[in-house]
């Protein structure tokens, strides 16, 4: 049995008199104990899919199951095995951190849950804020409480929707250490993030959404193997020749160009020399998930992206 199963999920709605297809026939499973990444640009349908999983929205077509429980017909059972950390900072301003977590425990019928609450507070760096009112917390601390709320009933399936967006490095490290520990203990994790280095480091398998469609689904290592194994990186103040500019990733003065072998590296350097383009800090490195993501989103090398590998 899968931890989560999305089968032929479509979601449409009418906006300004026209039909918008937020999701189109999306199907994939997440295994028990798997760390799965769901990636895509803004508006790709990631949060819509999570909202359907959490029972906050209904699919126009298709079914979603969490540990075998249908999220519509068996909503209560599905929700008990699911912990969701939303993007938005939603909190009750009238309670302290500990009171918030006790109240969340009560929603799931849990009594005498203080030992686990104390453990959550310790692992998320909230112990010294346990008696502070939620209104007194910084944005980063509030996000830590949202994570604790999602985990207070020890759900076997954890959903993290952009959990580190706009937060400091310390929280990111603390959160990932704790989530990785829970994953090793058997919890399945579904992560959406715009920090692709996080997804590359944490996720065993990745799905990519584009305009509501699943355009890639594979093991992280297999996705990385599909793009060029070498990236030529350098700085320049000059204009790249069109032949290179079309395939380059440019961030300020930093340019990255894929190169599959030594001959292609020499070809790129020769083209730069002929164009009189000055090069500084030249280095070669391994392609990363961002390179793969951009290639797939722009339709390069996506023809094999629908293959599924366990």
pLDDT at res. 232? 87
pLDDT at res. 7? 96
d(C-alpha 139, C-alpha 118), whole Å:
21
Query: Domain ranges in the chain?
Result: 4-220, 228-286
Q: Angle at Cα 144 formed by Cα 174 and Cα 147, nearest 5°? A: 95
DSSP structural state of residue 96: B
Q: Rounded to a whole number, what is the distance in angstroms from the first to the last CA of the chain? A: 14
Lookup result for tokens 């977590």: 101
pLDDT at res. 13? 86
Q: How confident is the model at residue 190 (pLDDT cuts 50, 70, 90)?
A: very high
Q: Taking a C-beta distance cutoff of 8 angstroms, is the pair 51, 205 a contact?
A: no
Q: 258-271 burial, b if ≥16 CB within 10 A, otherwise e?
A: bbeeeeebeebbee
pLDDT tens sequence across 220-277: 988 888 765 678 889 998 888 888 888 888 888 899 888 877 888 889 999 998 888 9
* For range 200-219, the mean pLDDT: 94
pLDDT at res. 229? 66
Here the contacts of 74-80 (C-beta below 8 Å, separation 24 or greater) are 79/54, 79/55, 80/108, 80/153, 80/155
Choose among 7, 43, 14, 11: nearest CA to 24: 11
pLDDT at res. 308? 42
On the CB side of 255, CA atoms within 13 Å amount to 24
- Length of the chain equals 310
Helix H or strand E segment including 243: helix 242-245
Which are the contacts of 111, defined by CB distance < 8 A and separation ≥ 6? 105
Report residue 280 as tokens: 């500084």
Lookup result for tokens 């390179």: 291
292 pLDDT higher than 70? yes
Mean pLDDT value across the chain:
87
309 pLDDT higher than 80? no
168 pLDDT higher than 80? no
pLDDT at res. 210? 93
Q: Provide, rounded to the nearest whole percent, the portion of the chain with pLDDT above 90.
A: 49
290 pLDDT higher than 50? yes
304 pLDDT higher than 60? no
pLDDT at res. 160? 93
Q: What is the pTM of this model?
A: 0.81
E strands along the chain, which residues? 4-15, 18-30, 35-39, 61-66, 69-70, 82-85, 157-161, 188-192, 205-210, 213-219, 230-235, 249-251, 254-259, 280-286
pLDDT tens sequence across 79-123: 999 999 887 777 777 889 999 999 999 989 898 899 999 999 998
Helix (H, G, I), strand (E, B) or coil at 88: coil
pLDDT at res. 209? 95
Q: What is the DSSP string of 201-228?
A: HH-SEEEEEETTEEEEEEEHHHHHHHS-
Question: Phi-psi bin for 109: left (phi > 0), alpha (psi -120 to 50), beta?
Answer: left
Average the pLDDT over each of 12-21, 102-111, 291-300 and give the range with the smallest value.
291-300
d(C-alpha 191, C-alpha 182), whole Å:
14
pLDDT at res. 238? 85
Report CA Rg, the chain.
Answer: 22
Average the pLDDT over each of 54-63, 69-78, 238-247 and give the range with the smallest value.
238-247
- Pairing state between β 205-210 and 35-39: parallel
d(C-alpha 94, C-alpha 91), whole Å:
9
Q: Angle at Cα 167 formed by Cα 233 and Cα 249, nearest 5°? A: 20
Domain at 228-286: CATH architecture: 2-Layer Sandwich (3.30)
Domain at 4-220: CATH architecture: 3-Layer(aba) Sandwich (3.40)
Greater confidence (193 vs 140) lies with 193
Check if 4-220 and 228-286 are the same fold.
Answer: no
């Amino acid at each position: 049995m899968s931890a989560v199963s999305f089968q032929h999920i479509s979601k449409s709605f009418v906006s300004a008199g026209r039909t918008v297809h937020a999701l189109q026939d999306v199907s994939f499973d997440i295994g028990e104990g798997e760390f799965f990444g769901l990636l895509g640009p803004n508006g790709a349908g990631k949060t819509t899919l999570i909202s359907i999983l959490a029972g906050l929205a209904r699919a126009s077509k298709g079914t979603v199951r969490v540990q075998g429980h249908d999220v519509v017909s068996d909503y209560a059972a599905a929700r008990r095995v699911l912990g969701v950390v939303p993007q938005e900072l939603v909190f009750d301003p009238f309670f302290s951190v500990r009171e918030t977590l006790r109240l969340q425990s009560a929603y799931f019928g849990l009594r005498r849950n203080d030992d686990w609450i104390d453990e959550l507070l310790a692992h998320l760096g909230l112990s010294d804020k346990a008696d502070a009112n939620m209104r007194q917390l910084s944005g980063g601390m509030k996000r830590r409480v949202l994570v604790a709320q999602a985990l207070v009933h020890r759900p076997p399936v954890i959903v993290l929707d952009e959990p580190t967006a706009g937060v400091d490095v310390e929280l990111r490290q603390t959160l990932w250490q704790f989530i990785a520990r829970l994953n090793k203990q058997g919890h399945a994790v579904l992560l959406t993030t715009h920090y692709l280095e996080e997804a590359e480091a944490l996720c065993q398998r990745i799905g990519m959404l584009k305009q509501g469609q699943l355009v890639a689904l594979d093991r992280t290592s297999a996705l990385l193997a599909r793009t060029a194994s070498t990236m030529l990186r350098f700085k320049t103040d000059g204009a790249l020749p069109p032949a290179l500019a079309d395939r380059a990733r440019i961030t300020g003065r930093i340019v990255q160009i894929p190169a599959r072998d030594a001959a292609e590296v020499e070809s790129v350097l020769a083209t730069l020399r002929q164009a009189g383009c000055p090069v500084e800090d030249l280095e070669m490195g391994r392609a990363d998930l961002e390179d793969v993501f951009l290639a797939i989103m722009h339709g390069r090398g996506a023809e094999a992206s629908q293959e599924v590998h366990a």
